[in-house]
Amino acid sequence: MANTPDYSWPPEDKRKVIGTSPQRLDGPQKSSGRAKYSSDMNPKGMLFGLYLTSPYAYARLKSIDTGEAERSPGVRAVHVAAKAGTEMPWQGFEIAAVAADTEEQARDAVRKIKVEYEVLPHLVKDDDLAKAGTRARQGGETVTGDPDQAMKDAEVVSEGQYGFAVVTHCCLEPHGQVVQWVPGNDPSGANDHVTVWPSTQNVSGYAGSLGTNIKVPATNIKVRMDYIGGGFGSKFTPDAWGVVGANLSKQAGGRPVKLYLERSTELMIAGNRPSAYGKITVAGKKDGTITAWTYQGWGSGGFTPVPPPDQPYIFTRVPNSRRNRTGIALNGGSQRAWRAPGNQAASFLTCCAIEDFAHKAGKDPLEVFKLNAQYAPEARVDTYRFQLDKAAELAEWKTLWHPRGEGGGGTVKRGMGIGVAAWNGLGHASQCRAVINTDGSVSIEIDSQDLGTGTKTIITQVAAETFGLALNQVKLVIGNNDLPPDGGSGGSTTVGGVSTSTRKATVNALDKLFAAVAPDLGATPDQLEAVDAHIRVKGSPNKSLTWVAACRKLTSSISEMGTYNGRQQDTAGLATGGAAGAQIADVSVDTETGIVKMNRYVAVQDCGMVINPRLAESQVYGAVIMGISTALFEERIMDQETGKYLNPDMEFYKLAGIADIGNIVVHMDIRPENDKRGVIGLGEPPAVPICAAVSNAVANAIGVRVPQIPLTPDRVLAALERRNA
Amino acid sequence: MSSKKDPELPVQPKSGFSRRGFIRGVGIGSGVLGTTGLLPKEAAAAPGAAVVGPGPVAMTLTINGKPVNLTAEPRVTLLDAMRNYLDLTGAKRVCDRGTCGACTVLINGKSVYSCTTLAIDAQGKKIETIEGLPVNNPVSAAFVNHDGQQCGYCTPGFVMAAHGFLREHPNPTEADVEHGLCGNLCRCGTYMGVRKAVVEAAKGMKGGSNG
Ligand code: FES
Ligand code: FES
């Protein structure tokens, strides 16, 4: 009998489903508009909820009167979230919500809520550290080696200042949920029942978190989510609106309530990527070797001061450095994780500073990045060098790159720039149940979610691979908290988690099937294999049973779990962490208008064993496009005079459109040495270096650094003016 | 990033109600303190227009070839009428102000942002929504084929915009597609697949019906 089952992935040449690119399984439902997102749910008797939020950057709530709103036509419930005396430290802060029969009635009622505010002094801008005053919190100094001496000894020293704007997630499906809280007959809430259709990146964690807040046992909370319209790190908890929506439902006698944030509120409070600014000095030798690094960094993640990430990024073994970091308390919505939290800012600051140093040293930045890759974590040094060369080859660096500022004779200048990325991406803890029924049907059950990354498809691929079945012979159920728990989809942890638990569950289930049918095939279980919808004796293909015939021999269904605890040592080699990537931007800049146009963007990325290359490629495209959008267009624009967020709508908070992205070339670095590492998450790593690469390309094109992203025409023109002055 | 679509119906609204009257601005200078209504006065009817509302009125919309009745206030957009009153949820509410295209439907054959169209003004017109197309219509199928979708929230809008676009541009290049669909936004970054999908869909639709 098999002792410890062999969970390892089949060798590359034996794989039939893993490594192939079937279409996204839920694609037809989505592209035909049939997919029902939580925000599409209209359960019977549903009410429409709407928030009243604070119009001020910073205010204290003096009084609130909801009487008129409560009497407004159609209103079934009013919930006050901010009582008198509440300090509201950002615009968009939730004050109260109403639920009414129609959305129009809810809007009318919200306007009838009377609020008196005491306006407090605000700070909404953080680009100038000197103006932060008492809002600045020093994070202390870190010193490595002897930076002062190294600076003195240096042959080349370059200095620069770089800024990275607050951007907002702007998930197309807004934050919110449909929720129904049916009160029971026990005042403690023990008999209350809640059904909720949230838009969440963490279906498994939702009930526990909501239950704690509304004092209903998680066992009485049903969470259901088939589709989600984007999260990107901003949708991990039920949030205040989950709790408020539930309360509205309860107050309305248990009618379901749909409460989604309006776009303006969404842009203010439902996701802010922290800003980061840095004054950086890089010192080194004429050959481009970096010897010292100093960094004074500041930034803000909202009212709680969060310092920007440490420096240098990836090149962490630079021998001498001095780093200071300061967080600023701003009157802006709180930070939320953004696809590779901290890493984008860190990569931006580091790669811009290295490019400036290369220019100062008179060297090709490609060579300078490769040379200083010696300071990357030891195991990745060669990977970075390989990937930089590969990216350079695909971007035609050798023919197209030119020294800074020599981007052609006309008014449109071409330039190229580099950025690098690192991410862990080890899978999260995950449990999966695999069921093989006596009629041969198979189901895989796991309380995960598919953010559009392709999770449903890859789980199904893993199961089909193990069972030797076609994809359509495997039924997958996710997004339902009655199923075995999975983790939240963040940090690129989903694919490693679900592929590991699914592989374990399916191998366990298959072993049970082998044990049941081995006697019929005159073999021992370990001599059997599942191939092409047959169970057969290895080496004797004619001693076999069809999958269905084999399952018919079962006296009852097989139900087996696969459990992965989310630690490296528990993966059985199925998954690991540690991805690297190198990217190159190729842009044209119109020096008369300041407009930056993307020509081509090359992304070289490793992510271990790739389950579905097409979906992997889509992830990289998506990450790059989102990055181009933040490099060129996106910014939360605040006005210090009034404290207002000036662009909380999608007209002035700009996202890149289909004509803004140029051509994108993706190279998945699937060399055998990467494949054998197992599965590594891919959502974040390719999203890291775009702002860096694009900013470097613009500097290369026009001969001067545009210090702040996004690289809007006015900033490009201002930088050109400074250069010409 | 300008839109290639008419944000309003080409015809003057018969009811005299305008979108402007009920946009709920929280943006620049709205100064709403949550106490005063900024809207009712602005909703005054244009001279000579028949006054309906402000209460709910009966309307009939012709959606995907069938007449559908509903009772809603005249300020209700076509998008909200579909999503909130008719359970037609393929069109999505994303920006709700004519920027993103997630709410795109065809009216009299032209793609229109349903969030900037009043339901009451869409009466008597031919409204086509994604629900009226078969699941495997050539455009939707091409989006699957080229993985032109991730979360998929923008996709029904893209698919409808592509249908409208292809009726007028049956032989587009990828560059034409970029131009024709720049009134739709995607947050997941699916544009690479979208470009290819629309070109392929055009080929698939040659000589055939529009799905
Ligand atoms: S929701 Fe109508 S254009 Fe965005
Ligand atoms: S696929 Fe997610 S917004 Fe387009």
| CATH of region A38-121+175-260 | 3.90.1170.50
**Does residue B154 line the site of ligand 2, with CB under 6 A?**
yes
Ligand 2 centre and the CA of A309: distance in Å?
29
Which of A265, A614, A655 is opposite residue B147, by nearest beta carbon? A614
Quote the CA–CA distance of A128 and A330 in Å, as a whole number. Answer: 12
| B20, pLDDT greater than 70 | no
A412 near A370, Cβ under 8 Å? Answer: no
Q: What is the token pair recorded at B120?
A: 């009451």
Among B82, B102, B130, the domain boundary falls at B130
- Report the Cα A27 to chain-centroid distance in Å: 21
pLDDT tens-place string over residues A558-594: 999 999 999 888 888 999 999 999 999 999 999 999 9
**Does residue B131 line the site of ligand 1, with CB under 6 A?**
no
Question: A231 pLDDT band (50/70/90 cuts)?
Answer: very high
Contact state of B147 with A107 under an 8 Å Cβ cutoff? no
pLDDT tens-place string over residues A147-176: 999 999 999 999 999 999 999 999 999 999
| B21, pLDDT greater than 50 | no
B66 in any annotated domain = yes
| B36, pLDDT greater than 70 | no
Cβ contacts of A104 on chain B, cutoff 8 Å: 72-73, 75-76
Quote the CA–CA distance of A227 and A40 in Å, as a whole number. Answer: 10
Cβ contacts of B30 on chain A, cutoff 8 Å: 55
Quote the CA–CA distance of A472 and A454 in Å, as a whole number. Answer: 16
Strands A47-53 and A257-260: parallel
Region A291-318: mean pLDDT is 96
Cβ contacts of B194 on chain A, cutoff 8 Å: 658
| B3, pLDDT greater than 70 | no
Same fold, A38-121+175-260 and A426-456+465-570: no
Cβ contacts of A453 on chain B, cutoff 8 Å: 150
Ligand nearest to C-alpha A657: 2
| B41, pLDDT greater than 60 | no
Which of B105, B113, B118, B154 best tests ligand 1's pocket when mutated (most atoms within 8 Å of CB)? B113
Contact state of B153 with A655 under an 8 Å Cβ cutoff? no
B171 in any annotated domain = yes
Which of B140, B154, B188 is opposite residue A32, by nearest beta carbon? B140
Among B114, B130, B146, the domain boundary falls at B130
Ligand nearest to C-alpha B153: 2
Cβ contacts of B95 on chain A, cutoff 8 Å: 263, 649-651
**Does residue B190 line the site of ligand 2, with CB under 6 A?**
yes
Q: What is the mean pLDDT of chain A?
A: 96
Same domain, B120 and B143: no
**Does residue B151 line the site of ligand 2, with CB under 6 A?**
yes
Token pair 């579905």 is found at A612
**Does residue B154 line the site of ligand 1, with CB under 6 A?**
no
Q: Which atom of ligand 1 lies nearest, measured to the CA of B114?
A: 2
- In angstroms, the separation between the Cα of residue B173 and the nearest Cα of chain A is 13
What is the chain B residue with the closest CA to A51? B34
Contact state of A228 with B99 under an 8 Å Cβ cutoff? no
A97 near A259, Cβ under 8 Å? Answer: yes
CATH number of the domain that B83 lies in? 3.10.20.30
Domain ranges of chain A: 38-121+175-260, 272-425+577-724, 426-456+465-570
Same domain, B65 and B94: yes
In this predicted structure, what is the pLDDT of residue B31?
A: 34
| B1, pLDDT greater than 60 | no
Quote the CA–CA distance of A467 and A442 in Å, as a whole number. Answer: 9
Quote the CA–CA distance of A564 and A508 in Å, as a whole number. Answer: 13
pLDDT tens-place string over residues B61-71: 999 999 999 99
Which of A95, A115, A622 is opposite residue B150, by nearest beta carbon? A622
Quote the CA–CA distance of A401 and A17 in Å, as a whole number. Answer: 41
pLDDT tens-place string over residues B166-180: 999 999 999 999 999
Mean pLDDT is lowest, of A457-461, A620-624, B27-31, for: B27-31
Phi, psi of A693 (to 5 degrees): -65, -40
Which of A26, A31, A172, A626 best tests ligand 2's pocket when mutated (most atoms within 8 Å of CB)? A172
**Does residue B188 line the site of ligand 2, with CB under 6 A?**
yes
| CATH of region A272-425+577-724 | 3.30.365.10
| A614, pLDDT greater than 70 | yes
The answer to whether the pTM exceeds 0.90 is: yes
Cβ contacts of B144 on chain A, cutoff 8 Å: 23-24, 27-28, 31
Q: Of A544, A436, A428, nearest to A494 (Cα)?
A: A428
pLDDT tens-place string over residues A469-513: 999 999 999 999 999 999 999 999 999 999 999 999 999 999 999
Q: Which atom of ligand 2 lies nearest, measured to the CA of B149?
A: 1
CATH 3.40.50.10140 fits A426-456+465-570, yes or no: no
Among B103, B130, B157, the domain boundary falls at B130
In this predicted structure, what is the pLDDT of residue A3?
A: 64
Q: Which amino acid is at A182?
A: V
Q: Which atom of ligand 2 lies nearest, measured to the CA of A229?
A: 2
What is the chain A residue with the closest CA to B145? A23
In this predicted structure, what is the pLDDT of residue B46?
A: 54
Quote the CA–CA distance of A161 and B134 in Å, as a whole number. Answer: 55
Quote the CA–CA distance of B64 and B83 in Å, as a whole number. Answer: 15
Ligand 2 centre and the CA of A451: distance in Å?
10
Q: Using CA atoms in the order A520, A523, A529, A531, what is the torsion angle rounded to 10 degrees?
A: -50
Quote the CA–CA distance of B114 and B104 in Å, as a whole number. Answer: 6
Quote the CA–CA distance of A42 and A22 in Å, as a whole number. Answer: 33
Percent of chain A, pLDDT > 90?
96
SS3 A619: helix
B196 in any annotated domain = yes
Ligand 1 centre and the CA of A681: distance in Å?
33
In this predicted structure, what is the pLDDT of residue A406?
A: 87
What is the chain A residue with the closest CA to B159? A31
pLDDT tens-place string over residues A428-467: 999 999 999 999 999 999 999 999 999 999 999 999 999 9
Strand runs labelled E in A66-192: 75-80, 87-88, 94-100, 114-119, 136-144, 156-164, 167-168, 176-182
Cβ contacts of A227 on chain B, cutoff 8 Å: 151-152
Q: What is the 3-state secondary structure (H, E, C) of A486-519?
A: CCCCCCCCHHHHHHHHHHHHHHHHHHHHHHHHHH
Interface test with A, best of B94, B96, B190 (most A CBs within 10 A): B94
CA torsion sign for A130, A131, A134, A139 is negative
Q: What is the mean pLDDT of chain B?
A: 82
Same domain, B120 and B146: no
Ligand 1 centre and the CA of B116: distance in Å?
8
In this predicted structure, what is the pLDDT of residue B47?
A: 58
B107 in any annotated domain = yes
Region A206-215: mean pLDDT is 97
What's the total number of domains in chain B? 2
In this predicted structure, what is the pLDDT of residue B49?
A: 65
Helix (H) or strand (E) holding A347: helix A343-361
**Does residue B115 line the site of ligand 1, with CB under 6 A?**
yes
Question: A279 pLDDT band (50/70/90 cuts)?
Answer: very high
Which of B1, B100, B133 is opposite residue A660, by nearest beta carbon? B1
Contact state of A111 with B94 under an 8 Å Cβ cutoff? no
pLDDT tens-place string over residues A624-678: 999 999 999 999 999 999 999 999 999 999 999 999 999 999 999 988 999 999 9
Same domain, B168 and B115: no
Percent of chain A, pLDDT > 70?
100
Which of A33, A618, A659 is opposite residue B90, by nearest beta carbon? A33
What is the chain B residue with the closest CA to A55? B33
Quote the CA–CA distance of A141 and A176 in Å, as a whole number. Answer: 41
Interface test with B, best of A93, A118, A172, A235 (most B CBs within 10 A): A172
Contact state of A624 with B186 under an 8 Å Cβ cutoff? no
Quote the CA–CA distance of B28 and B41 in Å, as a whole number. Answer: 20
Quote the CA–CA distance of A520 and B118 in Å, as a whole number. Answer: 69
**Does residue B187 line the site of ligand 2, with CB under 6 A?**
yes
Q: Is the peptide bond before A672 cis (omega within 30 degrees of 0)?
A: no
**Does residue A454 line the site of ligand 2, with CB under 6 A?**
no
Cβ contacts of B186 on chain A, cutoff 8 Å: 172, 625, 658
The residue range of the domain holding B184 is: 138-204
3-state helix, strand, coil in chain B (%, to 5): 35, 15, 55
Q: Of B47, B99, B54, B105, nearest to B80 (Cα)?
A: B105
Quote the CA–CA distance of A305 and A311 in Å, as a whole number. Answer: 18
DSSP 8-state symbol, A576: -
Cβ contacts of B83 on chain A, cutoff 8 Å: 40, 42
Interface test with A, best of B23, B71, B147, B176 (most A CBs within 10 A): B147
pLDDT tens-place string over residues A353-371: 999 999 999 999 999 999 9
**Does residue B119 line the site of ligand 1, with CB under 6 A?**
no
Q: Using CA atoms in the order B55, B58, B59, B60, what is the torsion angle rounded to 10 degrees?
A: 170
B13 in any annotated domain = no
Region B26-39: mean pLDDT is 36
B46 in any annotated domain = no
Ligand nearest to C-alpha B78: 1
A227 near A37, Cβ under 8 Å? Answer: yes
Residue nearest atom 4 in ligand 2 by C-alpha distance: B186
